[in-house]
Chains A and B, each alone.
Chain A
Amino acid sequence: MADEKIKKVSIVCSKGSLEGIYPALIMANGARMEGIEVNLFFTFFGMDAITKKKVKKIKVATVGNPAMGIPTLIGALPGMSAFATRMMQKKMDALDIPPIDEFIEMIGAAGGKLYACKATVDMFGLSKEDFVDEVESILTVGDFYALSAGGQIIFT
C-alpha cells in the first residue's frame, strides 16, 4: 500500500451507455465508502446519467462492442440492446449494485458532489431543471479544474 492515502478524486463520466456509466459511479461511490472526497463531472453522453428524461432509459451497447461476443449484425436486431441491458441489470441487482438513478441518489446521499458540463449543456440545449436534484451546478472545464485542485482526476 502507498504511504499517502488518496484524499480527493474528480471523476469524469463521458459515455452514455450502461457499461460506460457504471464504472464512473462505482468508482465514485467506492471512493466515498473509503472516506475520499468525490466530484463527479458528467460530460457529453455521460450526462444522460443525470438527465431526468434519460436516466431510466440507459442501455448496453450491443453494436460496436467486440467484448460482448455478439456479431454486429445480430447486435443491431431490434430488442437486442434492451435484452442485454435487462440481463446485466438482473446480475447487478443480485450483487446489490443499484440502477443508475438510485445509484446517483446514493452517491449524493454519501456526500459525493455532482456537476454537469457547461459545453454539453449548451450543445444539447439543456438547463439545470433537466437534471436530477443531486446535481449541484453546471460547470465550465475551468471550474472543474479549480474544483479538482489537490486531488486525482479520473476520466471514464
Chain B
Amino acid sequence: MTQKNRIAGGQIDRNTTCKFTFDGRTYAGHAGDTLASALLANGVRLMGRSFKYHRPRGPMTASSDEPNALVHLRSGARTEPNTRATTTELFDGLTATSQNRLGSLSFDLLAVNDRLSTFLTAGFYYKTFMWPAAFWEKVYEPIIRRAAGLGTLSFEDDPDVYDKGFLHCDLLIIGAGPAGLMAALTAARSGAEVILADEDFRMGGRLNSETYTIDDAAGADWAAATVSELANMPNVRLLSRTTVIGAFDHGIYGAVERVSDHIATPDAGKPRQILWRIYTQKTILAAGAIERPIAFNNNDRPGIMTASALRSYANRFGVAVNKRTAIFTNDDDGHRTATDLHAKGVKVIVIDPRADAPRARDYEVLAGAQVVDTMGRLGLTFAKVCLADGTERIIECGALGTSGGWNPNVHLTCHQRGRPVWNDALAAFVPDDLPAGMTVAGAAKGDMSTAGALAGGAQAAHSALELKGRLPAIPQAEDAPVNITPFWYVEGASRAWVDQQNDVTVKDVKLSHQEGFRSVEHLKRYTTLGMGTDQGKTANMGGLAIMAELAGKTIPEVGTTMFRPPYTPVAIGAFGGRHRGQDFHPKRLTPSHKWAEEQGAVFVEVGNWMRAQWFPRKDETTWRESVDREVLATRKSVGVCDVTTLGKVDVQGADAADFLNLIYCNGFAKLPVGKARYGLMLREDGIAMDDGTAARMAEDHFVVTTTTANALSVYRHMEFVRQCLVPDLDVQLISTTESWAQYAVAGPNARRVLEKIVDQDISNAAFSFMACANITVCGGLRARLFRISFSGELAFEIAVPTAYGDALIRRIMTAGAEFDITPYGTEALGVMRIEKGHATGNELNGTTTAANLGMGRMVSDKKDSIGSVLSRREGLNRADDLRAVGIKPIDPTQPVPAGAHLMISDGPVDAAHDQGYVTSACYSPNLGHHIALAFLKNGEGRIGETMRLVSPLTDIDVQVEICSAHFIDPKGERLRA
C-alpha cells in the first residue's frame, strides 16, 4: 500500500485517504485522485488489454479522450464496463477490475493474437470469414464475439435512477479552463443568466495541470478563486462533472451531469446521473485542446502517454509516473513537460526531431532524433532512439511522453454539419462554420496561450451578450507562441499504433489505402480507426496525415470524418431517465378497473389501456371456459362490458353535419336529432381508416366514436380537416375519451336492466334501434344513452361522467342481478363481433377499401368526402377484388386460424394462387365450432364453395366452407327487438 510514485504538490487532499481495489488488490490514493492517477502513484502502469491483439496497455491521457485505460468499475448490478480510469474520480471503497482478457491482466491468453498480427490486419474479417457461408453463424461469429469487444455487461438491472432536467440560460459556457472561467466572470458580472459546465470534477481545465501563474497566483489558485466568486453569484449555475454531449438545433444542448458517480452509491433520493436539456440564447465553446501522440514502433506500451498527461499527473495529482522519463516532441509544448518534471526531481531526456529544437541547461535534448522502438513486456523499460547522425542509442526510461501538437477541440462546432478548417501555424484543424449562437474561445479556437485564452474568453462573452462598455481587466499570464513542425509518425514504422483503442497501426492505414479505400470515411469503416468509446480523439489526425501523405494530398484536402453527438459515451440509462419498466409508458385504467379487479378479472393492455380480458370463475380452468360462458350468458340474458376506451370526439357547431359529411364516406347531413349512425372514414387514397358511430345529440352537436387504437390519430386527422381544409366551417372538436365512462349493456334483458337505472322511457317505441339521447340516471345524474350494438344483441351503451363510472357499473350489476347479468371482457366482445360479422382493426388493416369490407355502396357519390374520389379508382374496383366473407370448417372440430390463406380445393398451394386470407377467428360457443372472417377474391360470388385453408408455417391445412360473415341473426332482428 505504498504510493511509491507520489511526489509533492498537486490538488489532491492528502489528509483524505481512499482505499480501493484493482483486480482484487488493495491500494490507497487520495481524494482528488482519479483511478488512473492513484494506480500510477502506486506504480501500476498496466491497466488493460487492447481490443484486437490483447496488448498490455496503460493510460495514454489524463482526460476523457482516453483510448486505453478502460476498466470495469464497481461490482454486481452496478458494474459499469469501459469506464475510463483517467476520469473516474477516486472514492473510498472503489472497486475496479481490468477487462478484455482471458486469464490475468499480466498473463492474457488471447495475447496470442499479437503473435498472429501478420494475419489480423485491416479487413481481416471481411477477407477471412467469407466462406463457407454456413460457417458464419455457427462457427465464426461465436468465436469472434467471444474474442472481440472490451467490457461486458452485468446482465442485471441497474439499481440506480437517472433523471432528466431542463435548464434555460442567456449564456452557456462549455469548459471551465482559463477561457471559460474568464467568459463566465465577464458574463456573470453583467447580470446575465449563465451556466458554466465542465466535464471534470475540478474546474480550471489545464490551469490545474500547469505551473503557470496568473497575475501573482498559481494558475490553479486563480481558477479556484474565480470558481468561488462565480459560485456566490445568484445568476450563475456551475455544473461540474457535467459533459455537454451535443449541440442541437436552435440553441438546445444536451449535457450529462454525473451526480453520484464519484461516490459508492447514490445518496437516498438522488439520481445517479441527470441528462440536462439546456436551452440557451448564446453559447461559448471553451473546450480546450487535445494533445495528439506520435506513432513509432511499439508506441503503445504502458508508461507511454502524451506529454501533457505526464504533466497533469505530476502537477495536478502529485504523481511522477517514473523517475526516468523521456519526452518525444515535435513542438515547444513538449519541452514544458520536461521542465516541469525536471523541477520535480525526475530525470528527463528530450527527443525532438527538429534540428532547431530548443536547448535546455538542466537536461539532455536530442535534437534531430527520433524514437524508433521501445522495449518492456508489460511496461516500458527502454526506448531506442535514432540520433541525428543515424546512430542508435538505448535510453532507460519507465515513462515516455509524446507530443505531436494540439488539436483544438472542435467537436461540438461540427454537430450541425460544420466543417473545421486547417491552420498551418498550429498544424491542426480549427473551428469554422459554427452552430447559430455559438462562439469559440481559447485553445478550442486555436488560441493556445493562457493569455490568449483569458482575453478570448472575456471578449467572447462581451460580444455574445452584446455588452456595452469596456472589457474587464485581463490578468497577466504566459503568452508563448506555438512552435511546431508537423511530425506524425516515424519513417519506416509499421507496428506503430495510430489508434490504440482499435489496434489500428500505420501499416493498417497503408494497407487500407493500397486496397482502394481512399475516402476518409471509408478508411474509418475499413480499419475501425476512430471508432469505439473515444471516437479517435487522439487517433484521427494521425490517420488523416498518413492518408494524405499516401494520396499525395494535403491534410485539409483529405478532410475530417463527421463529428457526431455524443461527445463522450452516455449510459443508456441516462437517455431513458425515469421512463423505465412500468414508467416507460403510462397505464391507463378504465373507470371500472377497481371493480373489475375485485371480480378477479384478467387484464390485457390495449393501446395503454388495461382492459378486462375475461372474468374467470373459481371452477373455470381455461380462458376459453370463461369466454364461452360470458358469450352464452350475454346472448341468453344480459352482459355488461366497459367500452370507455373507445375514442370519443365531441363535434359542435352550426356546420357540424357538413363536417361529418366530409370526414365520413357515408352521409350524415340528414341524420335526425336523436339518432346515431355507423360511419366509415377513408384515407384520401381511398383505403379505410377507421370506423365508429356518430350520434346526433342536437342539431349542432354530434358525439363521434373511434376505435380504441386510433383515438389519437383520428382526432388529429379530424383537426387537420377542420383547420387545413375547411377553416371557416362553424365547427369545434374536443376529445372527450377520458371524460365519459361508457358501458355496453347487451342481451335480450338489456332493456329490463337499464329501465331500473334510466329515469326516462326507453321502450322500443320511445327509444328505437340507433336512438341516442341525453338522459338522466339514478334520479338525476346527467348521462347519455345510445342504442347501438356491437354484439348483435339488443344493446345499449350508457355513458356517465367518468367520476361516476365506478358507481354506475356497481349499480348496473345490482340492477342486473335478477337477470344473472354477466360482465364480459374483450375476448367475449371479440367473439360476439365475429359471430355478428363486424369489422375491427383486423379488417380495417390499412390495405382494405370500403368495397373489400362489403360496404362499397356506403361511399356516397352525392357528396364530397375524404377518400371518395380515389376510392373509385379502377385498381380498387376490380371484379375479383377481395370481399369480406365468413369461414367455417367442414370438420367442426378443426380450427380456422387467423393469418391462414385460402386456396382452391384442388389447385396448387402457393402464393401465385392465393385466393385470400383469414383476418379474425374464434370459437363460437353458439355454433359449437370455430368460425372466422376472411377476405376472399370475388367473395360474394363464392358463398358455399369448399376451399383449403392453409398455413404452411404452422402446418395448417383445413377444408372450409365459405359462408356469410353474419353467423348470428343475419336479419338483425335481435338488435331491433
Is the A/B pair a real complex? no
Interface of A with B (CB < 8 Å)?
A: none
